[in-house]
Structure 1
Amino acid sequence: MSAFLEKWPWFRALSQTSRALVLETARERHAAAGTIIARAGEPSAHWYGLMRGLLQMYVVGADGAETTLYCLREGEWGGEGSLLKAEMRRYDLRALTPAHICLIPARTFEALRRESLAFNHFLTGIMNKRMGAFVGMLAATRLLAPEMRVARALLMLTDAHSEAAQELPVPQHELALISGLSRQRVNVALAALRHEGVVAPASPRGPLVVNPARLRVYVMEAR
């Protein structure tokens, strides 16, 4: 875990005392796909750094239907909003794939926020990025065709800065939940995206392989 933390400029900018506090209080957790990490209505206890895998933030309606709010990718952090507001968690958090997570306790999070300007700048940056993702998802839901809604979901799930093809270990029914579409409609949208060279099946029944460069172009051209 220390190697993961050392990668972040905000951690390297901390005082020796604060770095020691993080290393002493943070813990690691391994979670199988489908494991609930935190539940809505519970106190917000941790800030989550994703070392491996995908985490899904979602809410469940009164009818039992799920709506995905955001998916944390490997190398991203989440949960800061609930900690900053010191409120009960408003969404469930679960492992979408097998995951390896760094958990920083709320008290340590608050200590870092009080001490470090670099840490606060980092929080501002990730919250701004996530707000942009939420606005994009809302616009896609209200204004865009299903193909673009699926494309935006794929963009959220993949490493958008990579040029290499990426295998997406997410079941199609989960992609439907993230897109806010029926599984049948996602099938139709994926067929259109295959035609555009955005995705391809690794095997007839295998996971999708996403072309990040082509995906970025596809989303940008539709704006």
Structure 2
Amino acid sequence: MDNQAQTLTQHLRATIWARCLTAAQMVRVEAETFEQFVPKGGFVCRKGEPMESWTGIIDGLVKMNNFSPAGKSVTFTGVPAGGWFGEGSLLKDDRRKYDVIALRDTRVAQMPRATFEWLLETSLPFTRFLLMQLNERLGQFIGLVETDRLLNVDTRVARCLASMFNSHLYPGVEKVVQISQEEIGYLSGASRQRANQALQLLEKEGLVRIDYGGIRVLDVDGLRQFET
């Protein structure tokens, strides 16, 4: 189903973690989780805010971002439709360590802290899901550190696209990634022009095809292994 056509309830029922909940637990989740609209460039949440909810992307794309004391912008990762984030800070009862900014108009699901904590207390399968989520997230960020420190722009763009194909973190992503070259630049730390050059190289290598309004990924494993 097109994410844009999904209601909040349909989105919640399509998540991986919903499959492990009882009918009664799902009723409470659906009753207490609410939807928020964030326009392009708007903040889903800000660094330093108290953690009040677990957040999922119904439709759109966001970036986890921070600024250095000198004002330099650092993007950690992007979260496309189907992804949920913020569980680490909720578990630590910590304030947010980063800004989350919408790269396009975005629909967000917000599960209140009380609901999240209640699921932890009443659903062992949900707790197991979160352990897997945290493990996948750790692996993702280790890979991002390596990519940022050791690899050039072409390889960073390839890994950026490949990172969106994680069936646990981002189950909603399809082979055609609805992402612009400007957005890829934001997520890979490159200018729009440089990201475009990298995409053209990846297209010549047979790994992607540049379509109108998005990127068709032809070889995910090839993107993960690509280096120049």
1:7 to 14, 29, 38: 14
Shift of 1:149: 0.7
TM-score, structure 2 normalization: 0.82
| Partner residue in 1 for 2:47 | 40
Kindly report which structure 2 residues correspond to 1:84-123, keeping only aligned pairs within 5 A, or say none.
84-123=91-130
Determine if the alignment matches structure 1 residue 170 to structure 2 residue 180. yes
Output the CA distance in 2 between the equivalents of 1:22 and 1:200.
39
The SS at the match of 2:219 is helix
Segments of 5+ residues of structure 2 without an aligned counterpart are 1-7
Residues 176-216 of structure 1: CA distance to partner in whole angstroms, max 9, x if unpaired?
Answer: 332123555434423322321334444xxx64x42323243
1:151 positional shift: 0.7
Inter-partner Cα distance in structure 2 for 1:92 and 1:164? 26
Map 1:56-75 onto structure 2 (within 5 A).
56-75=63-82
Per the TM alignment, residue 163 of structure 1 is displaced from its structure 2 partner at its CA by: 10
What SS does the corresponding residue of 1:123 show, helix, strand or coil? helix
After superposition, give the CA deviation of every residue in 1:132-176 in whole Å (9 maximum; x if it has no partner).
11111111122223211111112234688899752533352x433
Number of the residue aligned with 2:199: 190
Aligned to 2:3: none
Q: 2:219 aligns with which of 191, 194, 214?
A: 214
- Of 121, 130, 141, the match for 1:134: 141
Change (3 A) 1:197 1:82: same
Residue of 19, 28, 33 corresponding to 1:26: 33
Change (3 A) 1:159 1:212: farther
Q: CA deviation at 1:71?
A: 1.2
Say whether the 8 Å CA contact 1:151–1:215 is kept in structure 2.
Answer: no
- Residue 106 of structure 1: CA displacement? 0.7
Cα displacement string for residues 10-52 of structure 1 (whole angstroms, at most 9, x for unaligned residues): 3344345433321221101122221111000110111112111
- Paired with 1:115 and 1:159, the residues of 2 have a C-alpha distance of 27
Determine if the alignment matches structure 1 residue 54 to structure 2 residue 61: yes
What's the TM-score once normalised by structure 1's chain length?
A: 0.84
Name the CA distance, whole Å, in 2 between partners of 1:50 and 1:163.
11
Total equivalences in the alignment = 218
Instruction: Confirm or deny: 8 A CA contact 1:56 1:70 kept in the other structure.
Output: yes
Tell me the equivalent position of 1:77: 84
Offset at residue 57 of structure 1 (A): 1.0
Moved more, 211-220 or 159-168: 159-168
